[in-house]
Amino acid sequence: MIPASLTTNRARLTLDFDPGPGLLRSFQAYPIQMDNDEATATNAGIANAANRPCVLLVEDDRSARRFLEVTLQRCGYKVIAAADGLEAMKLALASPIDAVITDAIMPHLSGQQLARFLRNNEKLSRVPIVLLTGQENKDAASSPDDSIDAFLCKPVKAEELKSCLAGLLRRT
């Protein structure tokens, strides 16, 4: 038997493997006691999660979507991610959202088409919308119906995204 041990922030795991085939023979988990300060901080984090603004992030490029998702989470936002405009429409109708960040060019439905859909929905018409574009000229991506609240050029800098979103959410 080959023992292995792993300690996380809340548990100690003990594993025993058989040599050869590498089969797991036994597994045990032991909770680690938190002191009162740690428990209070953890409970406060859970309570605050419900009060965080929710951002619908729409980006078809997986790596860009992951970068933006992590950036937004680090800024304190709850993030719902979609890979295209159609998926975003479904999520927007099913989940309470406070803002939308969408890529301009995506399969199935563009960012501007998504914005027009949101503006025409009574429940979602006032949600701030940020359009991400790879174009250097923001005017080239401007929406003729003014359904977009802000434009950001890719690659987006974390501070620029944070500042833009915070400003839009203050106005609502």
User: Tell me, what's the pLDDT at 47?
Assistant: 40
Q: Which residues pair with 30 in a beta bridge?
A: 12
Residue written as tokens 């563009």? 110
Q: Which tokens belong to 54?
A: 């929710």
Say if residue 100 is exposed, middle or buried (CB neighbours under 10 Å; 0-12, 13-18, 19+): buried
Please tell us whether the domain made up of 53-171 is placed in CATH 1.10.3210.50: no
Quick check: 36 and 28 in contact, CB under 8 A? Answer: no
Is pTM beyond 0.85? Reply is: no
Q: Give yes or no for a cis peptide into 3 (omega within 30° of 0).
A: no
Q: How far apart are the first and last CA of the chain?
A: 61
SS3 state of residue 44: helix
Given this model, what pLDDT does residue 42 score? Answer: 40
Query: pLDDT by residue for the chain (172 residues), tens digit each?
Result: 445 444 444 555 555 555 655 555 555 555 555 455 444 444 444 444 568 999 999 999 999 999 999 999 999 999 999 999 999 999 999 999 999 999 999 988 999 999 999 999 999 999 999 999 986 545 545 545 589 999 999 999 999 999 999 999 998 7
Q: What is the pLDDT of residue 39?
A: 43
Q: Which ranges of the chain does DSSP label H, i.e. alpha helix?
A: 36-49, 62-74, 85-94, 111-119, 158-171
Q: What is the pLDDT of residue 66?
A: 96
According to the model, what pLDDT value does residue 28 have? 58
The encoded tokens of residue 89 equal: 């429409």
Domain boundaries along the sequence of the chain? 2-35, 53-171
